[in-house]
Amino acid sequence: MPRFLITRVASGLGVLLLVCLFTYLVFFALSPDPAVQICGKNCTPEVIDQIRGNLGLDQPFWTQFFHFVVGIFAGRTYGEGVGAVECAAPCLGYSFQSSQAVWDMIIQRLPVSATIAVGAAVLWLLAGLAGGLLSAVKEGTFLDRFTTGLTLTSMSIPNYVLALVLQYVLVVKLQWLPFPQAVAFADDPGQWFANFVMPWIVLAVGYAAAYTRLTRANVLDVLRENYVRTAYAKGLAQPLVWRRHALRPALTPIVTIFGMDFAGLLGGALITETVFGINGVGKMAADSIARNDQPVIMGVTLLAGFLVVVGNIVVDVVYTAIDPRVRVNA
Amino acid sequence: MTLLQVRDLTVTFPTPRGPLDAVRSLDLDLEPGGALGIVGESGSGKSMTSLAIMGLQPRAAQRTGSVRLRDQELVGLSEAELRRVRGDRIAMVFQDPLSSLNPYYTVGLQIEEAYRAHRPGTTRRVARRVAIEALERVHIRDAARRVDHYPHQFSGGMRQRVMIAMALSTEPELLIADEPTTALDVTVQAQILDLLQEIRRETGTGLVLITHDLAVVSEVTDHIVVMKDGVCVERGPVEQIFTDPRHAYTQALLDAVPRIDDEIGALRAVTAGGAGDAAANDKKDGGPA
């Protein structure tokens, strides 16, 4: 493994540890006593003490935090003796609400969220690149101005509003899409696809608009570069100048931004999944926040941080492959 | 037969205050194997002249007059016909070699591309050999290895050598060098000028050298055209211009060159003949009408 990758992974782990610490700190300081929460009605002080003991809530902050971090890598055991619960690595604790392991909850819901994220990403990349290129080629024409207007409009529509309008228009009024039902792709591909079309669109629209603006600006910038003038002076035809000398430099920075955006999609999924009632990681996060389910919030926060860190490293690696100037001498 | 004959070349830009001539009624003559210097300050229209010769002026600009390359008239040619001239019969070297080379491709590919654009059907192997030979001709050591390097792996002077190698790969009749040494430090400047001289001797390529630096033209060219505000103010053999400048502006340019035997004092501004600040104000008011 090249050295730069090792340092990037190490610093990534450092970032995750900090994310962990701060989230832990916030909930340690702010949340009401989890033991009371778990205990529910008909609670006695003895039971509460027992729960505190089992969860280690009677320990000082740093001890609790240490156990939490160790649990992620090595697993941990809650309680002692007969009632002890073994939590295998990677252990993120148990939901205060459902007593399920947080790791299992995330793993269960991840495929749905990933489907939404990947579908939306494909959609916005296609729309953004096509729109941006078209706009740049037709700079100053009606088409360019129309595209600009459209992107500005769609960037200013909040996606929960768009979600509700789409649902109302496409499902209720026009009935172009069937009512969402939980199906597996293999059982009913049509229904499966219909379920995801609206979340994809809603999640993609804002990004597609931003990518259209970005692509247009990048292409127009690069066309003013001296090396494009050189290419024309060599006698190359315009299509070749565009394809070889303008597109690659114009699109390379978009890789970085795409990596960041894709890694940070969990935030967008939170709203989209909640509005469409899709049981993914985003909705789980929203629910756990509403119910102050600390272990789940911690788990989702760490997952989001993990994705951003991994996304960054992937972007760095991809960049060394596509931009000769950043090839690392290691 | 004259290699390059420019008559009444005018490049006009539309502006909100009416048309503005970046170049007006310019005549140029260059014999085969000759070297012509075009001298002037920034904004004098010298770079626009070089672009207009190749038909590479900005799309908004209008080019009129006549540009003849041997017996072929270039004004009025279609894009496709101009493409056959660009890079093949007339090649260009630009001011800033770093930004003029595409950072994403090896210098080899960029030279091969120039060659293959005008020799359809050339295999990559042949083009690669041409590229290596071109790099050797501009004295880049270890050319067979350097051909696979990217522009950022070369120093400033080496990059300009790459640009020159690229321009020469097609054995052009005319080489236009637009401020080829301005972005380089003084010792490297001298090397690049020597290289241009050597190439001219060996290949008989005609050279149009555009610069603001009188020392540079005096070294390389035999004739000089002095431009100001898009117009030729003086022309003649190098010796005549240097010893007996007729126009006040040329005199001012010559005076502005710092000399080793000068008394120590402030640098002289080019003010004679309405140059300097007066010229800048002219531009804002719509330029010379």
The full length of chain B comes to 289
pLDDT classification of A39: cutoffs 50, 70, 90: confident
Task: Give dist(CA B14, CA B79) in Å, integer.
Answer: 22
Q: Considering only CB atoms, which chain B residues are within 8 Å of A244?
A: 105, 113
pTM of the predicted structure, to 2 decimals? 0.80
> pLDDT tens digits, residue range A226-237?
999 999 999 999
Touching check for B41 and chain A: CB below 8 Å? no
| Chain mean position to CA B246 | 25
Q: Quick one: which of A152, A121, A151, A109 has its CA closest to A268?
A: A121
Residue with tokens 């509460």: A48
CA dihedral B263, B268, B271, B276 (to 10 degrees): 170
Shortest Cα–Cα distance, B32 to chain A (Å): 21
**Which residues on chain B are in Cβ contact (under 8 Å) with A323?**
103-104
Kindly give, in sequence order, each residue whose CB lies less than 8 Å from that of residue A200, ignoring residues fewer than 6 positions away.
Answer: A116, A119, A120, A123
How far away is chain B from the Cα of A249, in angstroms, using its nearest Cα? 7
Of A231, A233, A236, the CB nearest to B54: A233
Minimal-distance CA residue of chain B relative to A324: B104
Q: What is the pLDDT of residue B284?
A: 41
Q: A284-307, pLDDT tens digit by residue? A: 999 998 888 888 988 998 999 999
A225, A236, A248 ranked by CB distance to B113: nearest: A236
Residue B254 touches partner A, C-beta closer than 8 Å: no
From B110, which residue of chain A is nearest by alpha-carbon distance? A231
Are the beta carbons of A230 and B94 separated by less than 8 Å?
Answer: yes
Alpha helices in B97-174 (DSSP H): 97-100, 107-118, 124-137, 143-146, 156-168
Which amino acid is located at A10 in the chain?
Answer: A
User: Could you say which residues from 79 to 108 on chain B have a Cβ atom under 8 Å away from some Cβ of chain A?
Assistant: 79-80, 83-88, 91-92, 94, 96, 99-106
Using an 8 Å Cβ cutoff, are B181 and B95 in contact?
no
> Taking 90 as the threshold, does the pLDDT of residue B151 lie above it?
yes
pLDDT above 60 for B275: no
Report the alpha-carbon distance of residue B59 to residue B52 in Å, rounded.
11
Cα A89 to chain centroid, rounded: 23
β-pair partners for B12 = B21, B62
Q: Which residue has the higher pLDDT, A192 or B277?
A: A192
Chain B partners of A251 at a C-beta cutoff of 8 Å? none
Which residues have CB under 8 Å from A92's CB, separation 6+? A71, A72, A101, A102, A103, A106, A295, A298, A299, A302
Could you tell me if B239 and B254 are in contact, meaning their C-beta atoms sit under 8 angstroms apart? no
Per-residue pLDDT tens over the stretch B191-228:
899 999 998 888 889 999 999 888 888 888 989 999 99
pLDDT value at A248 more than 60: yes
User: Got the DSSP string for B160-207?
Assistant: HHHHHHHHHTT--SEEEEESTTTTS-HHHHHHHHHHHHHHHHHH--EE
Question: Which of A36-40, A85-89, B69-73 has the weakest average pLDDT?
Answer: A36-40
Cβ distance of B56 and A229 shorter than 8 Å = yes
Per the DSSP assignment, residues forming a β-bridge with B66 are: B7
Q: Are A226 and B94 within 8 A, CB to CB?
A: yes
B54: distance to nearest CA of chain A, Å? 8
Token pair for residue A284? 């789980």
| Distance, CA of B55 to CA of A76 (rounded, Å) | 75
Q: What's the whole-number average pLDDT of chain B?
A: 87
pLDDT on residue B1: 78
Domains and CATH numbers, chain A: 14-87 (no CATH), 102-326 (1.10.3720.10)
Q: Which amino acid is at A167?
A: Q
Minimal C-alpha gap between B172 and chain A (Å): 11
| Residue A35 CB-density burial (10 A; 0-12 exposed, 13-18 middle, 19+ buried) | buried
Residues in chain A whose Cβ is within 8 Å of chain B: 225-227, 229-238, 244-245, 248-249, 252, 323-325
Cβ of B104 within 8 Å of Cβ of A323? The answer is: yes
Number of Cβ atoms within 10 Å of the Cβ of B192: 24
CB contact under 8 A, B83 and A235: yes
Strands of the B174-178 sheet, one edge to the other: B90-93, B174-178, B206-211, B35-39, B223-228, B231-237
The SS3 assignment for B120 reads coil
Report, as an integer, the average pLDDT of A176-204.
82
Task: Encode B224-252: b = buried (16+ Cβ within 10 Å), e = exposed.
Answer: bbbbbbbbbbbbbebeebeeebebebbbb
A102-137 helix and A294-322 helix, angle to the nearest 10 degrees:
40
What is the spatial distance between Cα B202 and Cα B196, in angstroms, rounded to a whole number?
Answer: 10
SS3 call for B218: helix
**pLDDT digit string, tens, across residues A6-18:** 888 899 999 999 9
Task: Say how far apart CA B168 and CA B206 lie, in whole Å.
Answer: 12
ipTM score:
0.85
Q: Indicate the average pLDDT of chain A.
A: 86
pLDDT of residue A56: 76
Among B131, B171, B166, B170, smallest CA distance to B148 is for B131
Q: What is the pLDDT of residue A51?
A: 79
Nearest-CA distance A138 → chain B (Å): 14
**Helix, strand or coil, per DSSP, at residue B55:** coil
Q: What is the pLDDT of residue B262?
A: 64
Q: How far apart are CA A32 and CA A161, in angstroms?
A: 33
| Among B residues 45-74, those touching chain A with beta carbons less than 8 Å apart | 54, 56
pLDDT of amino acid B14: 92
Do A143 and A224 contact (CB within 8 A), yes or no?
A: no
Per DSSP, B147 falls in state: T
Which residue of B85, B90, B104 to mutate against A (max A Cβ within 10 Å)?
B104
3-state secondary structure chain A: CCHHHHHHHHHHHHHHHHHHHHHHHHHHHHCCCHHHHHHCCCCCHHHHHHHHHHHCCCCCHHHHHHHHHHHHHHCEEECCHHHCEEECCCCCCECCCCCCEHHHHHHHHHHHHHHHHHHHHHHHHHHHHHHHHHHHHCCCCHHHHHHHHHHHHHHCCCHHHHHHHHHHHHHHHCCCCCCCCCCCCCCCHHHHHHHHHHHHHHHHHHHHHHHHHHHHHHHHHHHCCHHHHHHHHCCCCHHHHHHHHHHHHHHHHHHHHHHHHHHCHHHHHHHHHHHHCCCCHHHHHHHHHHCCCHHHHHHHHHHHHHHHHHHHHHHHHHHHHHCHHHCCCC
**Looking at CA atoms only, how far is residue A71 from chain B in angstroms?**
46
Other C-beta atoms closer than 10 Å to the C-beta of A58 total 13
Set of chain B residues whose Cβ sits within 8 Å of the Cβ of A252? 104
- Write the residue in B87, B102, B106 that is nearest to A235 by C-beta: B87
Give B21's DSSP letter: E
Q: Which of A75-79, A163-167, A289-293 has the lowest mean pLDDT?
A: A75-79
State the best of B100, B163, B171 to mutate against chain A, taking most chain A CBs within 10 Å.
B100
Average pLDDT over residues A74-100: 80
**Domain boundaries, given as residue ranges, for chain B:** 4-284
Architecture of domain B4-284: 3-Layer(aba) Sandwich (3.40)
User: How much is the pLDDT for B110?
Assistant: 96
A76-80, A170-174, A316-320, B204-208: least confidently modelled range: A76-80
Residue B197 φ then ψ, to 5°: -60, -50
pLDDT of B7-52, one tens digit each?
999 999 999 999 999 999 999 999 998 999 999 888 888 989 999 9
